[in-house]
Amino acid sequence: MTIIAREKVGQALKEEIASGVAKPGMQLPSESALAARFGVGRGTVRRALAALQTEGFVRTEHGRGSFVQEAIYPYELSRGSRFSHTLDGLGVYEARETVRNGIVDANGRIGRLLGLQPTEKLALIEVVSFAQGLPLLVASNFVSAARFPGIGDAYERKQSLSAALRLYEMTTQHRTHTEIGSRLPSAEQARLLRQPRTSPITEVENMVVDQSGVPSWVEVLCFASNRVRLILER
């Protein structure tokens, strides 16, 4: 009986989503309200919502509730593509929020990729990108603090790392190496992306070189996997 009740709840909500009664981004009623509406227990509603999230119909944000899933945004990875340009091409406004702008040690993997000594420093600029109010991406950008002194201030003025780096005569910015993986987010990443820690993210690590072919910038892009579709052209 519980399984039948769960499927009944799920099917009713699917029909409302398909018909447009429940629109993308709309918050669904609370578990208590849905339980009262369908005459079932909250546990049944919770399981129905979990199944709908697995199927891609809804997303559940811890402490906020469940929402109708928005469109999945395509992003074509190429040597010079930028996610902001992709959204522009779709006619979608991108908003950004800088969550970190500071200096960190270069004594890890990123420092080695940029050819730095463990005693040197990295400038780290971390940004969350939103489309229609929904967070899609947490981007962590690393460059040499010695090579690009004051890059944090330059970024704040330009609100674009690409534009800020051009102030230092880095006129060419090409990706030469990309690694893609999937993993569960950290607590902070889950908070920034407004998703459960049990929902995976897609991590894309890019090496960017300058006009001389020198590794100059490492960007680590963490996408909400159920909101962005990565495209690789051959």
> What are the residue boundaries of the structural domains of the chain, listed by start?
2-68, 73-232
Nearest to 113 by CA among 150, 146, 143, 140: 143
Nearest-angstrom CA–CA distance, 23 and 164 = 39
Question: What was the pLDDT predicted at 126?
Answer: 98
Answering whether pTM is above 0.85, one says: no
Side chain identity at 125, as an amino acid letter? Answer: I
Question: What was the pLDDT predicted at 72?
Answer: 79
Question: What was the pLDDT predicted at 212?
Answer: 95
What SS3 state is found at 126? Answer: strand
Looking at CATH, the fold of the domain delimited by 2-68 is given as: Arc Repressor Mutant, subunit A (1.10.10)
Q: Which two tokens stand for residue 111?
A: 């420092």
Q: How many CA atoms lie within 13 A of 185 on its CB side?
A: 23
Strands 73-77 and 228-232 come out as parallel
CATH of domain 73-232: 3.40.1410.10
CB within 8 Å of 211: residues ≥ 6 apart = 170, 171, 172
> Average pLDDT of each block of 10 consecutive residues along the chain (234 residues)?
82 86 88 93 92 83 83 81 81 89 97 96 97 89 98 96 96 93 95 87 96 96 89 76
Question: What was the pLDDT predicted at 234?
Answer: 63
Q: Is 16 exposed, middle or buried (0-12, 13-18, 19+ CB in 10 A)?
A: middle
Nearest-angstrom CA–CA distance, 193 and 222 = 9
